[in-house]
Amino acid sequence: MTQPSTPVVLLGLERSVYTRIARLVLEEKGIPYSLQEVEIFGPSGVPEEHRQRHPFGRIPVLHAGDFALYETAAIAKFLDEAFPGPSLQPSGAAARARMNQIIGVLDSYAYRPLVWGVFVQRVSVPLSGGTPNEAEIARTMIAAATCLSALAHLAEAGPFMVSPNLSLADLHAYPILRCFSLAPEGRALLAKHPPLQAWFNAMRARTSVQRTESKYEARQ
Ligand SMILES: N[C@@H](CCC(=O)N[C@@H](CS)C(=O)NCC(=O)O)C(=O)O
């Protein structure tokens, strides 16, 4: 078990979905950490020193003492297994597989359409003075509908996606769905899945979620 005194630094951005997933795990585990902002979306692109940490130029990257790690699902599992605090992974093989399946669906099929296709176009682009690409939104809403149906099908009735306890699946899903819900069409689609909506509302009330709110949410 990693010593609770190990310095933990998360390199990312407060407004980044994947950074938030890792922060939710840190918050739920009660691991003290600092967030070091790395601006990868600036006009000069990914800073060279960040490419040394992450060859694909993404965020977040975790430093725990002298151990460095990228890929959020790996970071989340490492934090859960290496540090004390409540366990965020079910012990049964089937429940653990379901949790990993939901995380895989989120990474492979949900993040791009829900966040880049809908949220970025509908919310971020206008905030920077641009015009949303309506064709892109319409196209990705079709993929988003498939994702929400799949998640609604895979998730249990509640209170958590893999009940009875909070797991890494919930913490991976919330930041992606939260961005999506900031777009009116995202909100409307979520409301068509009442159990998923109820899960979302319950997640929204958690202290970890409130402590990691982004500037986009403050506007709502
Ligand atoms: N597979 C990566 C994905 C991380 C990711 O895509 N992060 C976003 C920010 S939320 C990013 O770095 N985007 C930059 C880009 O798409 O070029 C992980 O699990 O950590």
Query: How far apart, in whole angstroms, are the C-alpha atoms of residue 125 and residue 112?
Result: 15
Task: Report pLDDT for 6.
Answer: 84
Count of residues for the chain?
220
Q: Which residues are paired to 67 by β-bridges? A: 64
- The amino acid occupying position 26 is L
For 94-127, give the secondary structure using H, E and C.
HHHHHHHHHHHHHHHHHHHHHHHHHHHHHHHHHH
Confidence of residue 158 (pLDDT cuts 50, 70, 90): confident
**Residue 217 pLDDT > 90:** no
Mean pLDDT of the chain: 95
Task: Indicate whether residue 71 lines ligand 1 (CB < 6 A).
Answer: yes
Instruction: Verify cis geometry, omega within 30 degrees of 0, for the bond prior to 60.
Output: yes
User: How far does the centroid of ligand 1 lie from the alpha carbon of residue 18, in Å?
Assistant: 6
Distance of CA 142 to CAs 3, 120, 136, Å?
46, 16, 10
The conformation of residue 1, written as its DSSP 8-state character, comes to: -
Using a 6 Å cutoff on CB, does residue 17 contact ligand 1? Answer: yes
How much distance in Å is there from the Cα of 2 to the middle of ligand 1? Answer: 26
Kindly state the tokens that stand for 40: 């990868």
Q: How far is the CA of 59 from the centre of ligand 1 (A)?
A: 5
pTM confidence score: 0.96
Distance (angstroms) between ligand 1 centre and the Cα of 33 equals 20
Residue 148: partners with Cβ closer than 8 Å, 6 or more residues away:
189, 190, 192, 193, 196
Tens of pLDDT, residues 197-206:
999 999 999 9
- Of 56, 58, 172, the one to substitute when testing ligand 1's pocket (max ligand atoms within 8 A of C-beta) is 58
Question: What is the residue with the minimal CA distance to atom 2 of ligand 1?
Answer: 71
Residue 17: pLDDT over 70: yes
Weakest-pLDDT range from 14-23, 152-161, 193-202: 152-161
Query: Percentage of the chain surpassing pLDDT 70?
Result: 97
- CB distance 69 to ligand 1 below 6 Å: no
Domains and CATH numbers, the chain: 8-82 (3.40.30.10), 93-213 (1.20.1050.10)
Cα–Cα distance, 37 to 94 (Å, whole number)? 37
Of the chain, the end-to-end C-alpha distance in Å amounts to 40
Which ligand 1 atom is at minimum distance from the Cα of 19?
10
Q: Are strands 8-12 and 61-64 parallel, antiparallel or unpaired?
A: antiparallel
| Ligand 1 site, residue 121, Cβ cutoff 6 A | no
Question: How far apart (Å, rounded) are the C-alpha atoms in residues 156 and 159?
Answer: 8
- Section 189-208 average pLDDT: 97
What would the pLDDT profile of 90-147 be if each residue is shown by its tens digit? 999 999 999 999 999 999 999 999 999 999 999 999 999 999 999 999 999 999 999 9
